Structure 1
Amino acid sequence: MCLITLCAVALHAQDTSISQDSLQTKKDSISKTKYLKQLGNGYFPTKFLNLDLRYLVKYNQYEGLRTGIGGITNDNFSEKYRINSYVVYGFKDHRFKYKIGGAFRVNEAHNTWVNLSYTDDLQETGSSSFLTDNRFFQFFEPRLLNIDLFHKHITKAVSLEHNLSDQLFSETEVSLSKIDPTYNYLFATQDEIYKNFDLTLARISLQWNPFSTYEETEGKMVETKEGFPKFSLQFTKSFKNLIKGDFDFFKIDFRTKYQLHYNDEVYTQATFRSGLATGRTPLTHLYHAYPNNITKETVFQRFSVAGVNSFETIYFNEFFSNRFATLQLKHFVKPFKISERYRPQLVLISRFAIGDMNNTERHQNISFGTLDKGYSEAGFELNKLLFGFGLSFAYRYGGYHLPEFTDNLAVKFTFNVSL
């Protein structure tokens, strides 16, 4: 009987050991998954600070190589307070840029945060982003390599993040900015000609993803289940003579994304974007239609990296608008199964844009066209040919077709990586 008892004890100990090993393996797997998820969201986690990978290495035509460090504190530092700052240096313009930011949470149930920041940096002229986009991470935006038209800005801002529901996010911001274009630009009004100017802005941004599921990770909303369509809406108001504001204008921006899935690997993606600016709006805060083509003579001199949602055949600074709309269609064909690990994918692409501008004479020392004829381009990408790299081909046609065949053609790298 003692022998039976000893055997039972030994078997129990063995089962306990196996159970503990299994539990440890599960914990390690969860920890690895969480680590990769944080990397996929653009952060390298440390004990108290998550380093923001976006600031390590960048490149553009004005700054050349841009490198620095930034990050955001995590829950080990505090669950109610966070610091979000960065410092970078441009080797071509020989200038430091930085942001000093912090926030405190006022409501946990709705993930409500008050943010304060002071930023001294550059911004692309004609770019227009949604405040709520800052809460989601895009690992790589290739068209940043080719941008050359920037304006300096020193911005003091206070904003309020608030989840109206699990799928409806909002952010409201009031900011004061000093704007100084890095290029020779003058903005003429009936009263004065401005080389640089001050803006007092109020923005309200809404992001509604009714069919997606989210969870919060280190102050960022992480999409655990993606659903479509998605909707973004933003209102911007500039106030003249309110705390040094020079201009009075209004903007409204809208975006929707939709994906139609035929199976896990074959789907069609559609993105519609529109914007309207009224009043005395300087070029810095108008719309450029996402160009990504360098103004050089031959196709191979223009060879660079294709963007994610950009027009590959529109030359930088070719068009600006105070009202515009774009539609981008992508169809992802079933990957070619050459081997289990090597599976290139063909993507068919069509893009359309239309726009116009009032009072073009206000924008002096810079020449550009409008999109009133309607702009069209079509092409395809062959992605993941080697180490995440592929090739992109696009051709412009329609109202803005150019006389020389090669001037309408864009051939570029693509880069796709997922963690």
Structure 2
Amino acid sequence: MNSVRFFCFFLCLLSVFSSKASDIQTSATHIRGRVVDLHNGNPIAHAHIMIVNTQSGTISGSDGTFSINYHRPVRRLFITHIGYMQRIIEVAPGTEFLLIELEKQPVELGVVQVRPGINPAHRIIDNAIAAREQNNPKNLPSFTYTAYSRFVVSGRLPPPTDTTNMQAEPDSAQLRLQGFFDRQHLMMTETVSNRKVLYPNRSSETIVANRIAGFQNPEFAVIASQLQSFSIYENQLTLAGQSFVSPLSPAGRPRYNYQLLSAQPQGADTIFTITFSPIYGTTFQSLKGSMQITTQDWAVKHLRAGAAHPQPIVQFSIEQNLQKIDNLRWFPVKIAFDVETHLLNAEPFRLYGRGSTHLQNIVINPPLRARDLGAFQFDFAPNTDRGEDFWLRYRPDTLTTRHKATFAIMDSIGAANHWDRTFSRTQALMTGRLGVGQVDLGILDFLRYNDYRGFIPGLRVFTNNNFSHQVALHGHIAYGMRNQSLTYGLGGSLLLSMRHELWLGYRFDSDFVEPGSSNFLNAPRFLSPDGIRSYIMRSLDRNEGHTAYIHGRTLRHRLWIKAYVSDKTVFSETGYGFVANPLLATPPEKRFRFVETGLQMRFGVGERFFRTPSRIITLDGDGPIIHLNLAHGNSHFAASRNPYRRVELRIEDYFPIPLVGTQYWQVQMGMVSDAAPWHKMFTAPAAFRRFSIAIPNSFATMRFNEFASNEYLMVFFAHDFENLIFGRGQRAPNLLLLTHIAFGRLTNAQAHINAPFREMNRGFFESGFALENILNLGITGMGLEALYRYGAYAFPDFADNISVKLRLSILFSR
């Protein structure tokens, strides 16, 4: 699962748990406010609000508003802005809203000389950009460090939106809920890990200590590391899974507005505080925030940033502190993020979280070798249950009373309410399974539908980890109402090696399958494109037989290999027949037996893996996914044995292009022997229907079974302009340009009798566009997709070449 979608789902679940926990059951500071001009009351955008004696703070928005979440009481705030006098505000205990008025003054920046038309911040930014390669820690040959991470989730009542009426009393439920959060947090994790990094892209982090209040699921241990970039010097900064143009990149330099707030001497150096935000009228994935740059190596000492146009559901901001280690290189010493959710409007509170990682024992350029790093990006030491003495060695501060109460109380509340069990069941729901004791039930199998079989009530059952971690059993049964057909199957597998995810298995199936379909090695997905496409299929053949297989992972877990042997019989129900030798006057065969051995391989370039004590999780990768299928078999019919070979290759990847958008490519090709019947050939993935859900990587204007090939090439291309066309905002859609191309060659055409397909040698083309998130429902979005068929296989009637479909972005988000 995508780590950010998993995190947002996790916060949704916590919003439900928190209301229950409050019924069962010092303080952080939460302040909102507004910065205005003293004389005219106009809002002051991009004012810098810092907590005195810390490096934490925020920037006011375009309407002058700001919000601060801090894990300790806040006594004073320091406010600065170019052209206004600096001000220190005393914060009284319990304050929730501040109206801050600033008085104008002439611009004075010490030794910085401000001249008309010249922005003094630009010289500083230019120097920092020029020095970013030498200051980027990712360019080091190697480094190691120990990290202490803390992640806290809590909640609060939103402050009144009407500041003129501060006497409105919250109801008793709100008071009880706020009292709960004043005493303790909803969840808290502590983690200590050792990380080793070897240039250019080898990394291994071992979690040596871990404790979680409220939950026992160890997957939360890596949440913080997945939500932001480690290095702030990249062209693109990652924030909650989205890429933003860095204000320290050449592409960002002409598109950001930089303001120099202060220049503070520090010994022989000077530290400049600069705010940044997108220039008015520009449209790109932008950030807003502040940074401190020192004249020593023109390095960044501190950065705080958030999305300039945050999403309405979950809003993130990040923070980094950097120091020069051993007088060698600048390196992060603290990485933090804040998150606030607006997930359930009906709830009388908002969830917020604070994650921080403190880096210790940093070693620059240690003598590391590739074999010193493990196969997993994240791994667990054999024993992560540590005593208090261990934690005291790594905590940068002591736990507050609220922290201690969280560990003491939330574990018992979580156990009493079976939070881990509820979380596991809800997580299973996201994969299309409903957990019931020791088995999971396939949700979509209760009632399915397609045009060929009609309504298909059924049942699919899987054993889960409550049954066994080493043995997995499954079975299914269903009945097609339209063609009055019963389908069924069963199977099981045995885990041979957890480290390599090596499984030995067997299955028997009697089901209906599309002739000539492709099957690549992929993890099961809920509402996958192939799964949705099965609902609109109009011709299928019964496929019955046995398969024995073994599959596992190697090459740092990135290569997934499956070897199998199968014996299956296909019964043609479309009237199709095949004659092995058209020169002989033999009746066409409609029943085929295929005995086949094969290999399926999947290689994820740049994929990373997290090994927990119970399973291995695939994290987001940054390279192409390569699939390869190899098969050799014999087709038995007409008292003869006809050998065939089948090869398929698929490559898929995406390319973020700063200020242009993101391109998605999938290239697929295959070849099979001339003597293979239709069922072992390649049928182009058609998806035409007058109105249906858009299905990625299929041909929206192609009719079912219209084309089949012995050799083929398909290309699916999409370019997402993201926010570059319609701008940012809750209701701004995304524009995508789409093009799908296919070529195919059909050999031995005379051997296929009553075949519904034809050759595709002149090329099939369709192009169009999609508008995503026309209707933004928060977690999902609805849009439209329109494609037009053209070229040699276009229909005479214009309307027959058009396809308009509903596009749901949550189903197939990349």
Q: Note if 1:404 corresponds to 2:797.
A: yes
Residues 241 and 66 of structure 1: is their aligned pair in 2 closer, same or farther, counting only changes over 3 Å?
closer
1:369 maps to 758
Residues 340-378 of structure 1, C-alpha deviations (whole Å, 9 max, x = no match)? 4x5533221111111111011111012422111111110
1:296-375 matches, cutoff 5 A: 302-335=690-723, 340=730, 342=731, 344-375=733-764
Q: Is the 8 A contact 2:770 2:786 kept in 1?
A: yes
Q: Does residue 544 of structure 2 align to residue 154 of structure 1? A: yes
Is this contact kept in 2: 1:58–1:67, CA < 8 A? Answer: yes
Structure 1 residues 217 and 370 mapped into 2: Cα distance closer, same or farther (>3 Å)?
farther
1:7 aligned residue: none
Aligned residue number for residue 516 of structure 2: 126
SS, match of residue 148 in structure 1: coil
Deviation string 1:297-320 (CA, Å, 9 cap, x unpaired) is xxxxx2222212101111112111
Partner of 1:169: 560
Answer whether contact 2:623 2:653 (CA < 8 A) is retained: yes
Q: Conserved in 1, the CA contact under 8 Å of 2:566 and 2:596? A: yes
Cα deviation for residue 67 of structure 1 reads: 2.7
From 180, 191, 198, give the equivalent of 2:593: 198
Q: 1:53 to 1:196 in 2, by over 3 A?
A: same
Whole-angstrom CA distance in 2 between matches of 1:69 and 1:217: 31
2:242 corresponds to? none
* Map 1:37-186 → 2, pairs under 5 A: 37-130=427-520, 132-133=521-522, 135-141=523-529, 142-165=532-555, 166-186=557-577
For 2:786, the equivalent position in structure 1 comes to 393
Measure, in 1, the Cα distance between the counterparts of 2:486 and 2:727: 47
Q: How has the CA–CA distance of structure 1 residues 368 and 224 changed in structure 2, closer, same or farther, with 3 Å as cutoff?
A: same
Matched, 1:187 2:599: no
Residues in 1 aligned to 2:613 and 2:808: alpha-carbon distance in whole angstroms: 27
Three-state SS of the structure 2 residue aligned to 1:313 is coil
- TM norm structure 1: 0.85
CA contact (8 A) 2:674 2:748 kept: no
Contact 1:266/1:334 (8 A) holds in 2:
yes
Question: Over alpha carbons, which structure has the higher Rg?
Answer: 2
Distance 1:219 1:184 in 2: 49
Post-superposition Cα deviations, 1:259-313, rounded to whole Å, max 9, x if no partner, equal 112479942110000010114111122112211114xxxxxxx222221210111
2:791 partner amino acid = G
What one-letter code is carried by the residue in structure 1 that aligns with 2:563? T
Per the TM alignment, residue 43 of structure 1 is displaced from its structure 2 partner at its CA by 2.2
Letter in 2 for 1:392: E
Among all aligned residue pairs of Structure 1 and Structure 2, give the percentage whose two residues are the same amino acid.
Answer: 22
For residues 219 and 19 of structure 1, what CA distance do their matches in structure 2 show? 23
Q: Which amino acid aligns with 1:171?
A: K
Q: Which residue of 2 aligns with 1:381?
A: 770
Aligned-residue offset at 1:29? 8.0
Alpha-carbon distance between aligned partners in 2 of 1:288 and 1:331, rounded to the nearest angstrom:
26
Contact 2:599–2:631 (8 Å) recurs in 1: yes
Higher RCO, 1 vs 2 (CA within 8 Å, ≥6 residues apart): 1
Change (3 A) 1:38 1:332: farther
Give, as a single letter, the amino acid of the residue that structure 2 aligns with 1:415.
L
Closer, same or farther: CA 99–360 of 1 in aligned 2, 3 Å: same
What is the SS of the residue equivalent to 1:311? coil
Shift of 1:60: 1.2
Q: Which residue of 808, 811, 814 corresponds with 1:415?
A: 808
Alignment of 1:5-16 (within 5 A): 16=404
Which aligned pairs between 1:146-295 and structure 2 lie closer than 5 A? 146-165=536-555, 166-190=557-581, 192=586, 193-215=588-610, 222-239=617-634, 246-262=641-657, 266-294=661-689
Unaligned runs of 5+ in 2: 1-399
**Does structure 1 conserve the Cα–Cα contact (< 8 Å) formed by 2:605 and 2:621?**
no
Cα distance, 1:354–1:281 mapped onto 2, change above 3 Å: same
Q: Is the Cα contact below 8 Å between 2:649 and 2:670 reproduced in 1? A: yes
Offset from partner CA, 1:27-65 (integer Å, 9 cap, x none): 988777655543332222333112223423322111112
Rounded to whole Å, the distance in 2 between the matches of 1:195 and 1:240 is: 12
Mapped partners of 1:264, 1:79: distance in 2: 47
Q: 1:198 to 1:220 in 2, by over 3 A?
A: farther
TM-score (norm 2): 0.46
d(CA) in 2 for partners of 1:398, 1:384: 31
1:239–1:245 Cα contact (<8 Å) kept: no
Give me the whole-angstrom Cα distance separating, in 1, the residues matched to 2:494 and 2:783: 43
Count the aligned residue pairs.
398
